[in-house]
C-alpha cells in the first residue's frame, strides 16, 4: 500500500520531492519505493526531465489503475486506503481561466482550508488530463478520449458591445445590427442567435474573425463591433458596464461546461468538492437572467 501511494503521488506531481513532502517521508524513501515497484514489474516508470520525473507510457496506464484501486479501497476501508488530500491540479483553457475561474478561485479555497490548488492553463484540446492533472474543465459536447465527463452547466449566447458603440449606431432593435460590424468567433457561428431573432442575415465573414473567446470580447470592448458572447465569459464585463447586452433574445448553445477526469478512475474527494462548488458558482448569476443568464445544467 505504501509503495502504491508513493507511486500515485509521484506520478500525479511528477516529482519525487513533491510526493515525499505530501506523504511526510524522505525523497530517498519515495525513490526506494519506485525502484522496488519497477523491479517487481520489470518496467521503467519515470524518466528525469529537468527537475521533473516524467511518467513513462507504462506509468500513465498504471497510474489510472492505481487511482481506481485506491479509490475503491478508500470507500471500503477508509482508514487503510487513506491518502493525504493535500493537492488538486485543475486543467483549464486559458480564456476560461482568466475570464472566469481565477477571479473566483479564492471562494473555493476558503471552502477547503489546507488544500493546495494548482490551476494549469492548457489550450491543448487533446491532452488536457496529462502530467498529473486531477480534473479539467472543458467546453464541448462531453465526449473526450480517455476521460469521464460530468456536465455542470449549459450556456446561452447573446450579442454585446460597448455602450458607446450601441449609442453611436443607434441600436434599438435586432434589425439594427444590419448596419453594425458583427465580430466572429471561428468556432461559434452567429446563425443560432440570428434564427432566434428571426433575422435573415448571412453568417458574417468580413472585418474580424478570432479563434479565442477572450479575444472576441476584448475586440468588442475596444469598440470594434458587436460580439456574440457566451454568458459566463461576459458576466464580469456586463457587471462593470464595460459591455452591454443587446436585447433579451438569446440562443441556447449545443455545447456545455464539463468537469472531466481520467477514464476508469474515481473522482477524488477534492475533485468532488470542486465539482459541487463549480456548479454552485456557475449558477450564481441566474438570479439576473435578463442581463447575465445561463442555461440550466443538463444530464450528460
DSSP calls for 212-266: -HHHHHHHHHTTS-EEEEEHHHHHHHHHHTSSEE--S--EE-S-EEEEEEETTSP
Same domain for 240 and 219: yes
The H or E element that residue 124 is part of is: none
Same domain for 264 and 134: yes
- pLDDT score, position 287: 36
- Which of 19, 43, 76 terminates a domain? The answer is 76
Same domain for 246 and 179: yes
Structural domain boundaries enclosing 201: 156-252
Same domain for 197 and 48: no
CB 295 within 8 A of CB 153: yes
Average model confidence (pLDDT) for the chain? Answer: 84
Domain count, the chain: 3
| Arithmetic mean of pLDDT, 202-211 | 85
51 belongs to a structural domain: yes
Q: What is the pLDDT of residues 251-295, one digit of tens each?
A: 999 899 999 988 777 888 889 999 999 999 988 754 344 344 444
164 belongs to a structural domain: yes
Residue 101 pLDDT grade (very low, low, confident, very high; cuts 50, 70, 90): very high
188 belongs to a structural domain: yes
Amino acid at each position: 500500500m505504501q509503495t502504491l501511494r508513493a507511486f500515485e503521488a509521484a506520478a500525479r506531481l511528477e516529482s519525487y520531492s513533491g510526493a515525499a513532502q505530501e506523504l511526510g517521508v524522505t525523497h530517498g524513501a519515495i525513490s526506494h519505493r519506485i525502484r522496488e515497484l519497477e523491479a517487481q514489474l520489470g518496467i521503467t516508470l519515470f524518466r528525469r526531465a529537468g527537475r521533473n520525473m516524467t511518467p513513462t507510457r507504462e506509468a500513465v496506464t498504471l497510474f489510472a489503475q492505481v487511482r481506481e484501486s485506491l479509490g475503491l479501497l478508500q470507500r471500503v476501508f477508509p482508514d487503510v486506503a487513506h491518502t493525504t488530500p493535500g493537492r488538486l491540479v485543475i486543467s483549464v483553457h486559458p480564456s476560461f481561466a482568466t475570464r472566469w475561474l481565477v477571479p473566483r478561485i479564492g471562494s473555493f479555497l476558503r471552502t477547503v482550508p489546507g488544500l493546495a490548488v494548482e490551476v494549469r492553463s492548457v489550450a491543448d484540446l487533446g491532452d488536457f488530463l496529462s502530467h498529473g492533472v486531477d480534473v479539467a474543465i472543458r467546453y464541448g459536447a462531453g465526449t473526450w478520449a480517455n476521460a469521464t465527463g460530468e456536465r455542470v452547466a449549459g450556456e446561452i449566447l447573446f450579442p454585446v458591445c460597448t455602450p458607446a458603440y450601441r449609442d453611436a449606431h443607434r441600436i434599438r432593435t435586432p434589425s439594427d445590427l444590419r448596419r453594425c460590424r458583427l465580430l466572429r468567433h471561428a468556432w461559434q457561428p452567429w446563425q443560432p442567435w440570428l434564427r432566434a431573432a428571426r433575422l435573415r442575415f448571412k453568417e458574417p465573414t468580413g472585418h474580424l474573425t478570432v479563434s479565442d473567446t477572450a479575444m472576441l470580447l476584448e475586440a468588442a470592448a475596444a469598440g470594434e463591433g458587436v460580439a456574440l458572447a457566451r454568458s459566463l465569459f461576459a458576466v464580469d464585463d456586463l457587471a462593470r458596464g464595460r459591455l452591454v447586452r443587446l436585447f433579451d433574445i438569446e440562443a441556447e448553445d449545443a455545447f456545455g461546461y464539463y468537469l472531466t477526469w481520467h477514464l476508469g478512475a474515481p473522482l477524488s474527494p477534492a475533485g468532488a468538492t470542486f465539482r459541487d462548488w463549480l456548479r454552485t458558482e456557475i449558477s450564481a448569476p441566474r438570479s439576473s437572467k435578463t442581463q447575465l443568464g445561463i442555461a440550466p445544467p443538463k444530464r450528460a
